[in-house]
Amino acid sequence: MSLTISKSKRRLAVLINYGCLLLFVGMFITGKYLEWNIAVIVCGLLALIMLLVSFIALHIKTKLWKLAHSKTADLDERELQLTLQSLRHSYIIYAIISLLVIFSLAMLAGRHDSTLIIIYAGLLYLAHTLPSAIIAWREREV
Amino acid sequence: MEIRKIYNRISVLREERGVSRKELAEKIGVNFQTVGYLEREEYNPSLDLAFRIAEYFGLPVDMIFSTKPMKPLSREIFDLKNKSGEYYEFNDF
């Protein structure tokens, strides 16, 4: 793992990376549902290129990708603690974003499709109960 | 749970023995960057790692790690000798 890039630069790279992802998805949705014009295509392509460049700079060159995707056995205790904390935060952020996206889709399609609302409720329940369910499943009797 | 800071003498001992961070890391089975984190007291080792470090240096764990800021080693030896009845002036060191 290399954290030789300063923290402020790493944070900037994270913001640029996710900003480009949002822009790329936004341009695709705009093109698909409104109109594919030259501005949308250029913006989408630029966002994709910047997404790849910032991904390589932030994840590959720093070897953070390798760290976050290593097997448990290949990490020492500090690296393991670091990745576990990171996974804990990632789970929360990912669950919130996924639920917000599904909630938005459910609200948009609400009158016509109750399936999405039921799926949303199920996933909301799963996101909150999964961590304790895993403990219940794995822990030995005391 | 609030985690207490653990102070240590790893950097002093490592330099005294002329061992690089990389060599120490290999001996105790961690990444060399972890040795840096330990030396800067930015990471508290597990009990297992603390014992591995103590075994490597051939010293008791409490000579290397403490919950209070560490005294210089010379002062520690002086205090220990005084406790055991061998009286010295601190300047003898």
pLDDT less than 70: residues of chain A: 1-3, 110-112
Chain B residue at shortest CA distance from A3: B33
Residue A67 burial (CB count, 10 A): 19
Pick from A51-55, A115-119, B5-9, B12-16: least confident: A115-119
How far does the CA of residue A51 sit from the closest CA of chain B (Å)? 29
Q: Which residues pair with B66 in a beta bridge?
A: B7
Whether A1 is in a domain gets the answer: no
Which chain A residues touch B34 with a CB distance below 8 Å? 76-79
A76 in contact with chain B, both atoms CB, cutoff 8 A: yes
Helix, strand, coil content of chain A in percent (nearest 5): 80, 0, 20
Whether A107 is in a domain gets the answer: yes
Q: Which one, of B7, B39, B31, B67, lies nearest residue A83 by Cα? A: B31
Cα–Cα distance list, A73 to A45, A69, A79, A80, B52 (Å): 40, 12, 11, 9, 18
Could B34 and A1 be called an inter-chain contact, meaning their C-beta atoms sit closer than 8 Å?
A: no
What is the distance in angstroms between the CA of the first residue and the CA of the last residue of chain B?
A: 42
Whether A39 is in a domain gets the answer: yes
Average pLDDT over residues B13-20: 94
Chain B residue at shortest CA distance from A4: B33
> Looking at per-residue confidence, does B1 or B6 come out higher?
B6
How far does the CA of residue A76 sit from the closest CA of chain B (Å)? 5
> What's the whole-model pTM score?
0.77
B51 in contact with chain A, both atoms CB, cutoff 8 A: no
H-type alpha helices, B1-93: 10-17, 21-28, 32-39, 47-57, 61-64, 73-83
> What is the model's pLDDT at position B78?
82
Chain B residue at shortest CA distance from A76: B30
Could you report the per-residue pLDDT of B47-77, keeping only the tens digit for each?
A: 999 999 999 999 999 999 999 998 887 887 7
Assign A139 to helix, strand or coil.
coil
> Looking at per-residue confidence, does A120 or B33 come out higher?
B33
Residue A126: which domain range? 7-138
What's the DSSP call for residue B85? T
A32: enclosing H helix or E strand: helix A7-33
Whether A132 is in a domain gets the answer: yes
3-class SS string, A97-134: HHHHHHHHHHHHCCCCCCHHHHHHHHHHHHHHHHHHHH
Whether A52 is in a domain gets the answer: yes
Q: Which of residues 11-50 of B touch A (CB under 8 A)?
A: 29-31, 33-34, 37, 43, 45-46, 48-49
Which of A7, A62, A78, A82 would you mutate first to test chain B, the one with the most B CBs within 10 A?
A: A78
Q: Tell me how many domains chain A contains.
A: 1
> What is the model's pLDDT at position A111?
65
d(CA A88, CA A3): 21
Whether A2 is in a domain gets the answer: no
Residue A81 burial (CB count, 10 A): 14
> What is the model's pLDDT at position A3?
61
**Does residue B81 contact residue B23 with C-beta atoms inside 8 Å?**
no
Rounded to the nearest 5 degrees, what angle is found at the Cα of B20, between the Cα atoms of B54 and B42? 65
Q: Which of residues 6-45 of A touch B (CB under 8 A)?
A: none
